[in-house]
Amino acid sequence: MRGVGLGRRAVVVTHPGVGRHYLAPVMASLAAAGVEVGVLNLPAGERYKRLATVEKIWAAGLEQRLDRGGVLVALGGGVLGDMVGFAAACYYRGISFVQLPTTLLAMVDSSVGGKTGVNFQGKNLVGAFWQPRLVLADLDTLATLPARELRCGLAEVIKHGAILDLDLFERLERALVEAPTRTGLRLAACARGTLTPDLARLCVERSCQLKGAVVAADEREAGQRAWLNFGHTFGHALESVCGYRRLRHGEAVAVGMVLAARLGARRGDLAPEVETRLARLCAAVGLPVRVPGGVDPQALWAAMLKDKKTRDGTPRLTLLAGLGRAMVTDDTPAAMIENLLAEACAEGNDADR
């Protein structure tokens, strides 16, 4: 990390499992650049994405004597990166931070764009826009990633294709649905859950290009950045209702995309077969496509109304006008959404029987 201009002091924030694999080379790189480094290990998991955890990052910064020239380094996945970025945005009213994503989900989505924050009575309701000084995605770190985490990352890649790039979506279909036995890429049938280097590079490079272009045009979500929320209003509500335990973020987004496509068809904006294609692609990599059993549709609706994009009691939803074309709506009748949720929760209960 030479030449980045990181200042004299840094704190690397990571998880023990991640640090076991990758902390030593990061520390060596910083030391070679003349940076004094402290380390903070945090527990992993969405349930730790809260202000109390961010306070630990601030305390580590003070202990390491970080000043406004210091830097926080996030070595891990998206939850960690969101918290470290938020801590950096607030510490001394803003210091530099670096993203070193080690999960596919973080590489293709959360490390790009400068959205930071924590969960507070809802998903990411407290946060800040704060751009990282550097994002370094080393694809070799995916070799130690569990298959479930790879699948979660692929959910966001599928989303980018669905909202922005029909060619990407169709390339994923060809690789993961149409030719799984020839390419060996179908994660649902692959015990190791590995990605080929070419597919991993495609997913990361194209996702970063697509999201980076959207963010550059609309950093603070005044317009087209809202397209990136496709599947997320439903997904965030699912995560919250399920206590951030039953579903990982990418899994909830996969279900949310299928529900959003179904809603688009009911509104008359989208051909019904788009839901089928989305569900088939998500299922091909082992992602869920139904609401889990036991979810209360009214609790799900209440969680959606807490979403930060809600205006005057109406969710502002990102839907599809077609594959590769997103649109944002705030005119969907509440009854239509509630009926959709009731039906989806009933389907989940039936599937679990």
Active-site residue identified among 9, 46, 149, 221: 221
Active site residue 115: yes
CB 323 within 8 A of CB 277: yes
Closest CA to 296 of 352, 259, 348, 333: 348
Catalytic entry in 9, 236, 262, 309 = 236
Residues 6+ apart with CB under 8 A from 295: 238, 241, 242, 345, 348
Q: 9, 15, 151, 225: which one is catalytic?
A: 225
Structure tokens at 234: 């439903």
Look up 159 and say whether it is catalytic. Answer: no
Given the residues 151, 159, 206, 211, the one annotated as active site? 211
For the question of residue 211 being annotated catalytic, the response is: yes
124 is catalytic: no
Catalytic residue among 151, 206, 249, 290: 249
Catalytic one among 15, 49, 115, 316? 115
Reply yes or no on whether 21 is catalytic. Answer: no
Q: Which of 49, 159, 232, 248 is catalytic?
A: 232
* Active-site residue flag, 123: no
Write down the catalytic residue from 46, 156, 239, 251: 156
Distance CA 236, CA 287 (A): 16
Is 249 a known active-site residue? yes
Give the Cα separation of 14 and 208 in Å (integer). 23
Active-site residue list: 93, 115, 156, 211, 221, 225, 229, 232, 236, 249
